[in-house]
């Protein structure tokens, strides 16, 4: 398995590889699939996938948003969903390398609590908490 960033110009053609994962993201985030898809269409979110060359299938979807903080570029991982996480989570190094090549000085995964122990082991630190309350 490996991490692959998909070129914006090929996203429509490659839709069957990544679009089905938006349903799960939509269910968790409560954002309509159309809104999520529109973020990709406006090039606000870059799509990456975890690709299994042997099975020729996608195991996970990664959504990346880029932010500027002064002179620094930050790669935010805003979507990360898939199946068999333990089989591909080690690919975080490939994702870090990709973001470094894109000029990022920092990676900021916006993750669910279950990811925290794995990320801490790899040198990530908690800088903020995001909490929700339904009104």
Q: Which pLDDT belongs to residue 128? A: 76
Q: Which pLDDT belongs to residue 36? A: 96
Enter the tokens of residue 101.
Answer: 């090549």
Q: Which pLDDT belongs to residue 29? A: 87
Q: What is the pTM of this model?
A: 0.87
Q: Which pLDDT belongs to residue 22? A: 93
Q: Which pLDDT belongs to residue 76? A: 94
Task: Quote the CA–CA distance of 60 and 73 in Å, as a whole number.
Answer: 24
Secondary element (H or E) of residue 92: helix 92-101
Q: Which pLDDT belongs to residue 113? A: 79
Q: Which pLDDT belongs to residue 115? A: 83
Q: What is the mean pLDDT of each run of 10 residues along the chain (135 residues)?
A: 95 94 91 95 96 95 96 94 90 95 93 84 83 74
The residue with tokens 């990811």 is 115
Look at the alpha carbons of 70, 40, 87, 30 in this order and tell me if their dihedral is positive or negative.
positive
Which CATH superfamily groups domain 2-121? Gcn5-related N-acetyltransferase (GNAT) (3.40.630.30)
């Amino acid at each position: 398995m490996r991490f692959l960033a998909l070129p914006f110009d090929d996203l429509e053609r490659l839709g069957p590889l990544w679009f089905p994962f938006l349903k799960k993201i939509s269910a968790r985030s409560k954002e309509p699939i159309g809104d999520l898809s529109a973020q990709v269409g406006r090039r606000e979110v870059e799509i990456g996938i975890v690709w299994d060359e042997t099975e020729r299938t996608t195991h996970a979807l990664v959504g990346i948003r880029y932010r500027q903080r002064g002179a620094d570029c930050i790669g935010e991982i805003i979507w990360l969903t898939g199946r068999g996480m333990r089989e591909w989570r080690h690919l975080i190094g490939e994702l870090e390398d990709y973001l470094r090549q894109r000029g990022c000085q920092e990676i900021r995964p916006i993750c669910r609590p279950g990811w925290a122990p794995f990320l801490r082991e790899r040198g990530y630190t908690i800088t903020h908490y995001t909490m929700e309350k339904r009104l």
